Amino acid sequence: MSDELLRVENLCKAFPIGGGFLEGKRRWLKAVDRVSLHLERGETLGLVGESGSGKSTVGNLILRLLDADSGSVRFEGVDVTRLKGAELTRARARMQVVFQDPQSSLDPRMTVGNIVSLPLKILGLATGGELRERAAASLAEVGLGPECLDRYPHEFSGGQRQRIGLARALVADPAFVVMDEPTSALDVSVQAQILNLMGDLQSRRGHAYLFISHDLTVVRHVSRRIAVMYLGAIVETAPTEKLFETPGHPYTRALLASVPVPDPAQRRNLARLTGDVPSPVDLPPGCRFHPRCPEAMPCCASVEPPSVELSPGHVAVCHLHNQRNTP
């Protein structure tokens, strides 16, 4: 495919727990376990999962904010996991990020103009007066006037700060932006403004988004395809409408059924799953979802489930489909 922008294969990352003085034996928390995904130019891939599922770690690994233990991230044909120095800087100019908390992701002691133009300065794409000019242009694109350049982040509301974050991400004209829960700190009416803005900017500039969120309704609204993560692994990937109409993995089904639908005429039992997400330190053997799975079979506790393609582009990692396909 010529349109492919990003291909992630078998990405793994584990964090050590303990092992220090008086901390007992060192154990490993598998935050990301053999994650593979791909993204085409100009498309939006939603990455959903509950807290601790490793979705933010995937974003950080792709951006090289964290180094992967194994696996590859091919971005515009280059494996960024191996890059160093100037080459890494060049690749990073093409990928940017917007974080969840607009309070802590903007330096309170820098003016908005300096914050927005900083990527250009670091990447050496502009100097002097051009920095300010391009910062103003970028701010204008997100709906903020040039009077904002000399103000500080605390003078802005949450929604405006998230616009500043977006202006900073887009100032260097990236091909790919990781949106790490960009609207979960915002109210629903402000969230709508930001989501609309994201869509406008994408149709104008043609960059791709990896949209990380725990909120299925938001992800459904913005994404063309969705990947569902559970305990560090992707359990299902599908085109958005397919995922909502015919979810293949029992976890996806439970997740969809747990979302409170904003329609009092459609009341239902939201308690579809019992128990909490188990700790990623001691992963259950076999399928990682089997202790909570309402459809678990004997083989689920011992054998890792295979990836099964249910229809073009719709993949579920579950024994249920394996049995149906090969009786």
- Residue ranges binding other proteins (CB under 8 A): 50-51, 157-159, 187-193, 195-196, 199, 214, 216-218, 220-221, 223, 240-241, 244, 254-255, 257-274, 276-277
Q: CA 192 → CA 129, 182, 226, distances in Å?
A: 34, 12, 20
What residue type is 239 in one-letter code? P
- 104: closest CA among 144, 45, 154, 159? 154
The SS3 assignment for 292 reads coil
Q: Which residues contact 22 (CB under 8 A, 6 or more apart)?
A: none
Instruction: Tell me the Cα Rg of the chain.
Output: 21
Which helix (H) or strand (E) segment is 7 a member of?
strand 4-17
Nearer to other proteins, 48 or 68 (CB): 48
- 42: closest CA among 238, 170, 241, 202? 202
Backbone angles phi, psi at 246, to 5 degrees: -130, 70
